[in-house]
């Protein structure tokens, strides 16, 4: 499946492989967030990783803004930390745009070249909480 989610406390990881229809990806993201909420009804906050290292989508700025706004609708259950793991210069630039939009909506986004680096950042940040 081109867009999946993996829920392992305290991280929700969304993974995009190849190209995904934008509306379908938003629906899948909302499904993953709802599943995380159901898995932890105590309202603990989740960190988020978007693994875009195998994505081939080229999103418009409006789509990226829309995705950031959809994520912001769930701030009650996610931490401020949003990690984006990307490969390729085009994806890095798009990730930076998404990070800019999420930052404007109150999140603390970071862009990384690998999922391992993203996980390490989240772990280090959690240890400071």
Per-residue pLDDT tens over the stretch 44-57: 789 999 998 998 87
Q: What is the CATH number of the domain that holds 104?
A: 3.30.750
Helix (H, G, I), strand (E, B) or coil at 57: coil
Tell whether 59 is covered by a domain: yes
Tell whether 38 is covered by a domain: yes
Tell whether 128 is covered by a domain: no
pTM, two decimals, is 0.89
Rounded distance between C-alpha atoms, residue 129 and residue 10, angstroms: 13
Structural domain span for residue 70: 3-122
For CA atoms 41, 5, 61, 103, the dihedral sign is positive
Per-residue pLDDT tens over the stretch 44-99: 789 999 998 998 877 888 888 888 888 888 888 888 899 999 988 767 888 888 89
Tell whether 127 is covered by a domain: no
């Amino acid at each position: 499946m081109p867009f999946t989610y993996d829920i392992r406390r305290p991280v929700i990881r969304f993974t995009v492989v190849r190209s995904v229809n934008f509306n379908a990806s938003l629906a899948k993201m909302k499904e993953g967030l709802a599943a995380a909420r159901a898995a932890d009804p105590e309202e603990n906050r989740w960190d988020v990783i978007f693994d875009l290292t195998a994505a081939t989508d080229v999103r418009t700025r409006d789509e990226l803004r829309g995705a950031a706004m959809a994520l912001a609708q769930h701030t009650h259950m996610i931490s401020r930390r949003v990690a984006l793991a990307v490969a390729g210069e085009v994806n890095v630039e798009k990730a930076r745009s998404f990070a800019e939009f999420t930052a404007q909506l109150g999140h603390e986004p970071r862009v990384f070249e690998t999922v391992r680096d993203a996980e390490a950042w989240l772990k280090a940040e959690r240890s400071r909480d």
